[in-house]
Structure 1
Amino acid sequence: MNRFCGSGLQSIVSRAQSIALGEANVIVADGTENMSLSPHILRGTCFGSPSKVPIVDDMLWETLKDNYVGCGMGMTAENLAVKYSISTIELSDSRTKSELSLKNIFFPAFLSYICSLVLRIKLVSNLT
C-alpha cells in the first residue's frame, strides 16, 4: 500500500478480499505506517540549481495541510488550546479518558465485526 494513513488497515481488508475471492484459504495480514518516509520533491533541479535554492515539495505537508487556513492539522489543536486556555494536563486527561472510552466501546465491537467477517467469508468460500 502506498498511502499516508490507513494503509495498515487496508492490508487487512485486501487480505480478507483475497479470501472472499477464493485466492487463498488462510492469510496472515499486518500493517504499519511510516509517515516520516513520505517523499520529497526538488522542483527545477533536473540540471542542477546553481544560483538558487530549489523549491522543495514535502508530500506529507501538502497532504496534511488545511489549505483554507494554511496550517497543518496538528496546529489546529495547538491553536485551540491557546485560544481557550487549555493546559497540557487537561488535554492529557481528556485524551486518556477518550482512549479508554474508545477501547471499552469500539475495540470489542471491532473484534466482533472482524470475527464475523472472517466467518462469513469462510462460509461463502465453503459453499462454492
Structure 2
Amino acid sequence: MTISRDVFVVGAARTAIGTYGGTLKDTPLADLATLAVRTAIERSGAAADSIGHLAMGNVIPTEPRDAYLSRVAAINAGLSKETPAFNVNRLCGSGLQAIVSAAQSVLLGDCELAIGAGAESMSRGPYHVNTARWGARMGDTAMVDYTVGILHDPFHKIHMGITAENVAEQFGITRSMMDELAAESHHRAAKAIAEGRFKSQIVPVEIVTRKGTVSFDTDEHVKADTTVETLAKMKPAFKKDGGLVTAGNASGINDGAAAVVLASAEAVKAGGLKPLARLVAYAHAGVEPKIMGIGRCQRPNSH
C-alpha cells in the first residue's frame, strides 16, 4: 500500500538479542516489552500520555499476562490507562505487522502518535499438557513443546527447516551459498558490534544475579569466528539425506524486544519531534506453505 499521509518514526529502541537459553532466559517477556516501549517513548521526546495506540507483535506467550502483552507493556511503560493496545501475530512478521497496524491508526486519523513493537522470549516458551484439564484417565500423556510446535507448518506438519530445504531445491540454492551467506552475516554483525554501530539502538537490560547486577547490552547470538570452512563441517539438521540446512546456516532462536514511536506530520510539528525515518509503503503476500520462506519475494495482491 502506498502511504497517502506522512507517517514518521520519531523514536526507537531495542534490547540486545539474547540467544536461546542465554542471558535473557530468566527475564520475563513483559519486562523486555516494557523496557523497549518506555525507552522508545523517552527517546522520541513525546509525552507518554500523548500516545494514542499501541500494537505489540508476539507469537509465543510465556505466561497468562502475555495474552494482553501490549496492554501490560503500555501501562507499565507509563502510557495513559485510556490508551488502547492490542497484540498481533503474523509469526516471523509480527513485529513488522505491529508497525503497520500502528501506522494504520495514524493514517486513518484514529490518533496522531502510535507505537509499533514486538517482543519474544523463545527461551521461556511453554509446554502444553493437553490432557491435564479433563484428565488422561489411564496411561502416559505428553507435554507439547509450544516453541517447537510454532516452528512447524500446520498444513503439511513439517518443520520450518524443511520449508527452507524446499526453497533451496526449487530455486537452486546450494549448501555453499547458504554457508557463505551465514558466515558473512556473522562477520558483518561482529564488525558492527566492534565499531559500536548498535549502541544507539540498544537499551541495556539490567539482570540481577548472585554475583551482582549485570547490564546486558550486546547481541550474543553473533559468532565472530564463524567461517565457511567450519560451517561446511556441520551436519544437516532437518533433512538427514542430502540436506543443506544446518544449525549454522539456519535462523537463530532468540529473545528480545523492540519498539518504534510513529507520528503524523502534524504531531511532529506540534511537538517539535525529530523524524528518524518516513514510512513510504508496505505490502502483504501469501505463498504456498511448503516454501513459506519465499514470502518476502512474492508479488503482493493489489490493494
Q: TM-score under structure 1 normalisation?
A: 0.49
Q: Which has the higher helix share?
A: 1
Q: Which has the higher strand share?
A: 2
Q: TM-score under structure 2 normalisation?
A: 0.25
